Structure 1
Amino acid sequence: MSDPLRRIDALVEEDTLPIPSVRRQLRLAAGLTQVEVAEAIGVKRLSVAQWEAGRAQPHRGNRKAYAHLLRKLAEKHPDAAAEGTSDGE
C-alpha cells in the first residue's frame, strides 16, 4: 500500500466514532461523568451530551480526542463497546 493510502487509512481509523448509544455506555462503564469527559477533551458538558444523544458530532480536533478516549475505554470495557458499530460520520 502506498504512503498516501496509509495516511488516509490512519485518518479514517483515527477519528471513527461508535454509535451514540455506545459512546454513552463506554463512558458509564468507565464510571465517568459527562463533565469529566468534557474537561478531558476541552469542551462543555453540553457538547458531550449532544454527542451521546446523536444530535451533534464533534469537530475535527475534538473528534480525534474523543475517538481516542472512546477507543481506550473500549479496550478496558469491551462488553460496553460490543453493542454497536461505527456510525461513519
Structure 2
Amino acid sequence: MHDHNSGIFRGSAGGEEVTPVHNPVASVDALLDAHAPLLPTSVRGPLRRAAGLTQRQVADKLGVQPLSVKRWESGAVEPRAGLKRTAYSRLLQGLAQRHPEVIISRQS
C-alpha cells in the first residue's frame, strides 16, 4: 500500500516493513517550505496583536521560546529554514488575510 502524502510504501505481506519511495511532489514541497517567504518585520507584531495573540501563544504553537518570536518580529533574527519557518510564514499569511487593514496602514 502506498501513502501518497508521506511517500512511504507499506508492505502488505503481514509485516510492518516500511520502504521509502521517492515522492517528487513531497520533495518539491520540502524545497518550497525551506525557503518560505516571510512578511516584513514592520507588520509581524501588528498582525499578531490585531489577532489578539500574545508572543507566548505564537511561540507555544510553533514550539519555540517567546524570545524567538520577539526577535523574529523585531528583525533581529529570522527563523531558520524548516518546519517552524514554514509554520510562521503560514501564520503571518493567514493573519494578513484576516487583518488586511494592518498591511494597508503600514503601506501609507
Q: TM-score, normalised by structure 2?
A: 0.64
Higher helix fraction (1 or 2): 1
Structure 1: 5+ residue stretches without partners: 1-6, 85-89
Give the structure with higher Rg (CA). 2
Structure-1 separation of matches of 2:74 and 2:46: 12
Whether the aligned pair in 1 keeps the contact of 2:44 and 2:73 (CA below 8 Å) is yes
Question: Of 47, 51, 54, which aligns to 1:26?
Answer: 47
Is 1:79 aligned with 2:101? yes
Structure 2: 5+ residue stretches without partners: 1-27
- Matching residue of 1:87: none
1:81 deviates by 2.3
Structure-2 separation of matches of 1:16 and 1:55: 17
Amino acid at match of 2:57: E
1:19 deviates by 1.1
Structure-1 separation of matches of 2:48 and 2:103: 10
The C-alpha deviation readout for 1:17-40, integer Å capped at 9, x for no partner, is 111120011001001000000011
Identity, % of aligned positions: 43
Alignment coverage as a number of residue pairs: 78
Higher strand fraction (1 or 2): 2
Amino acid at match of 2:44: R
Aligned-pair Cα RMSD in Å = 2.3
